[in-house]
Structure 1
């Protein structure tokens, strides 16, 4: 397993993905006596009966990567189809976002205030947020190289840049969001901290998680600039089809639109 983890790291997989893939392979090894086409198909059936489609596809992706790593001379598992909902679920609203940052600002909780602001104003994934350094704020952007060796530039808006430089006036280098022992705060640490902040300021905890702010960024951006190709580049999407989900409204927004439009 150690060699597989090293292989993933050398391929440039994000820390979260490495952890997720490692867990999936440990689960596979624990539940199968030997790797055969039949045992792989049986494991897939167990996954489908036990987990949501998105989780199943994540585990299948991990398994296929592992099978390639060990040069398994057999099948590769096919993913399951995910039925996309015609609306977004559990996405933080602008009102809830403002309620959260207003409370954090009023209490002077600048660390979590800027975590929320950077998530909401840059569209960064939680794994990318952990990489921000003061030097990136000074420059106004951070460049990320994906596992496909594709360059993505995450822009820091001027208003956020100026505000955060005032907060981080000294030191002028190092991680923007350090955790224990000056290492980057963990993804789990961010998720837990956001839930605590939501509870503190009376915001629905179900809508306060790292990826929710990425949805918020995309929805707000597309409302102000309808260039979906630009948004796809900003989000780091390979296909515009992936970006189209952000053109959808939440269930509450759909309800409000119907109530307003239907008067016959």
Structure 2
């Protein structure tokens, strides 16, 4: 949409002039606006997903979780608008990292890794923080349909020092990993026609295999990472110990085993902080389509 980039830049300039308290209020307002604009069917989908996952059996509680998980998009947007204010010093007043020793060891040895990224918490700040802490981060994402919005996202992700690329080839990924990059690959969204079924919340769920494939091919570890809002504008990143895809197993078996492990770790985190996951996403679209086909037989 024409004018999107200029509009977002103006919001960024405005938010950068605010005090931390003012930015917090702006985030709350934007969150409420976002929730108001979410279509009723999408809100119902989020509630259905929460009940389906067994997070709660209470519909009112599911509605609360759906709302809270959506309201956080306001503060997350404002945090991104304020990326021009961040540097390698003040980021440490906002974000703490648990498990940084794993990345430090890899960086010291010049080795790359796969970061199994997800939509838990403030994932934009998570990537920015890792880059500002000095880690060679490469974020692999998908091009946004709105070109001006895509331009803004790419520009602001690069401000803290992230290298941003769209879906890239195997050779390029291999080269980047050998150069010591920590590559973030999303693992918690429906991959369309790609991926394999792996258990998530007790259901076969089509899951991206990129992390497992590249870990096996390039012989690099996978690290799960999560970010949690601890209150008062502060965040805590948790990096779990690295694990490797079993190279001795047949390829399909090794990839399924690793992908299932990733889903298991993701599920555990979501159950702990359900308000911080992206419930608006139609995560079981493939599962529902499969069941409809089975019922026709």
TM-score, with length taken from structure 1: 0.30
Name whichever structure is richer in strand by fraction: 2
| More helix per residue | 1
TM-score normalized with structure 2 length: 0.27
